[in-house]
């Protein structure tokens, strides 16, 4: 096939694609109308959920299975991400809160999950994002929960204690590569800004290459880049995305200690999704520390019902000194029979039990 003929066929395929995309968009609007009608018949108020993680997961699995190449499965899913983003924006005005300013890994994870067609709202602190989602100032919030190298994000756990009404709808994994950004050569740098998590992920490189530079913690890696762009003899541990946004040079690439460095995020809203058969749940509770073995007894309930625990963290409860709030992530949905029975039994050992949400288990 010659060049003109190939281009002609591409034009015809483009015409059919546009027709099919708009047909799909009209069907998406019909889905939204059907959801509203169903809510009306149930006597419920408010808008229906437009972001349904279980349905999204099914769509991605389906298109991967249908794909015969030459496009990769990842490429097809990236295209469908934007198609679904545009469809969501047609159904409702959707806003997503994230830890700002623009360019943070939270911003990148939000875009990865929701695509380019929604409104994104930056907040200066993680607790502000969670509060905004709880108060419905935004439709959804996205916050980091843990990093594979540096562990739990304690600011998020602490904010859950203050805002227990928010619900987890989904999890997102984002590969994270930290770089050193500056307007100066390495030998001239006297001060480095970054988020505590980013410093933890790059500590080994910084110890070896900038042992005498002061390290100053700020609210985000993008804020660090913003400050490095404004100050003399200063650098930031941040992403290469921020280098372009804040007109900084990449002094050193990939300074993270672990090359498979990944951060997990939670999507927050007013409700969790229905069970998919492959879910996780996050619980928050305290125990009576005066009772010997109270925590052990609570955790034994999960073994009784054959429920696996994937993570356990603790934070000061702020109710009184040396009293802790425990965060336990389990395999299963709160509506699963064995999980529901376990949650009922565990109340005998726990105080202030809260299910922060159940969400589809996401592959990396």
Strands 95-99 and 140-147: parallel
| Nearest residue to 350 (alpha-carbon basis) of 305, 303, 282, 283 | 283
State residue 364's pLDDT score: 58
Distances (CA, A) of 291 to 313, 317, 362: 20, 17, 37
Between strands 214-217 and 95-99, the pairing is: unpaired
Rounded Cα gap, residues 343 and 149, in angstroms: 31
Tens of pLDDT, residue by residue, the chain (364 residues): 788 888 999 999 999 999 999 999 999 889 888 888 887 777 776 677 888 888 888 899 999 999 998 999 999 999 999 999 998 888 878 999 999 999 999 999 999 999 999 999 999 999 999 999 999 999 999 999 999 988 999 999 999 988 778 999 999 999 999 999 999 999 999 999 999 999 999 999 999 999 999 999 998 999 999 999 999 999 999 999 999 999 999 999 999 988 888 999 999 999 999 999 999 999 999 987 777 788 888 899 999 999 999 999 999 877 777 778 999 999 999 999 999 999 999 998 888 899 999 999 987 5
Find, among 170, 165, 166, the residue nearest to 52 by Cα.
Answer: 170
What is the pLDDT at residue 12? 94
Q: Where are the alpha helices (DSSP H) in the chain?
A: 3-41, 53-66, 73-91, 105-114, 126-134, 154-162, 196-201, 203-209, 221-230, 240-245, 294-304, 337-346
Q: Which residue has the tokens 């395999």?
A: 331
């Amino acid at each position: 096939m010659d060049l003109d003929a190939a281009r002609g066929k591409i034009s015809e395929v483009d015409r059919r694609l546009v027709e099919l995309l708009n047909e799909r968009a009209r069907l998406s609007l019909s889905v939204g109308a059907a959801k509203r009608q169903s809510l009306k018949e149930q006597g419920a108020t408010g808008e229906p959920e437009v972001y349904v993680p279980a349905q999204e997961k099914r769509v991605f699995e389906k298109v991967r299975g249908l794909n015969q190449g030459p496009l990769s499965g990842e490429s097809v899913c990236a295209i469908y991400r934007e198609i679904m983003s545009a469809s969501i924006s047609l159904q409702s005005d959707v806003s997503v809160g994230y830890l700002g300013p623009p360019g943070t890994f939270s911003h990148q994870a939000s875009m990865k999950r929701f695509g380019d067609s929604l409104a994104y709202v930056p907040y200066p602190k993680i607790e502000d994002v969670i509060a905004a989602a709880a108060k419905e100032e935004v439709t959804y919030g996205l916050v980091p929960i843990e990093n594979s190298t540096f562990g739990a994000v304690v600011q998020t756990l602490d904010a859950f204690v203050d805002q227990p009404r928010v619900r987890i709808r989904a999890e997102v994994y984002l590969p994270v590569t930290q770089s050193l950004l500056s307007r100066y050569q390495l030998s001239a740098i006297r001060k480095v800004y970054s988020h505590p998590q980013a410093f933890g992920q790059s500590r080994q490189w910084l110890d070896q290459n900038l042992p005498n530079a002061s390290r100053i913690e700020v609210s985000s890696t993008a804020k660090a880049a913003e400050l490095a762009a404004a100050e003399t003899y200063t650098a930031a541990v941040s992403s290469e995305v921020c280098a372009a946004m804040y007109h900084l040079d990449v002094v050193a690439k990939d300074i993270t200690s672990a090359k498979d460095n990944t951060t997990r995020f939670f999507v927050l809203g007013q409700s969790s999704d229905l069970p998919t058969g492959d879910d996780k749940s996050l619980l928050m509770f305290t125990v009576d520390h005066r009772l010997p073995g109270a925590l052990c007894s609570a955790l034994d309930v999960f073994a009784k019902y054959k429920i696996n625990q994937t993570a356990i963290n603790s934070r000061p409860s702020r109710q009184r000194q040396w009293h802790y709030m425990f965060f336990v992530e389990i395999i299963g949905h709160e509506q699963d029979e064995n999980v529901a029975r376990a949650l009922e039994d565990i109340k005998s050992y726990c105080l202030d039990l809260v299910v922060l949400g159940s969400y589809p288990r996401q592959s990396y």
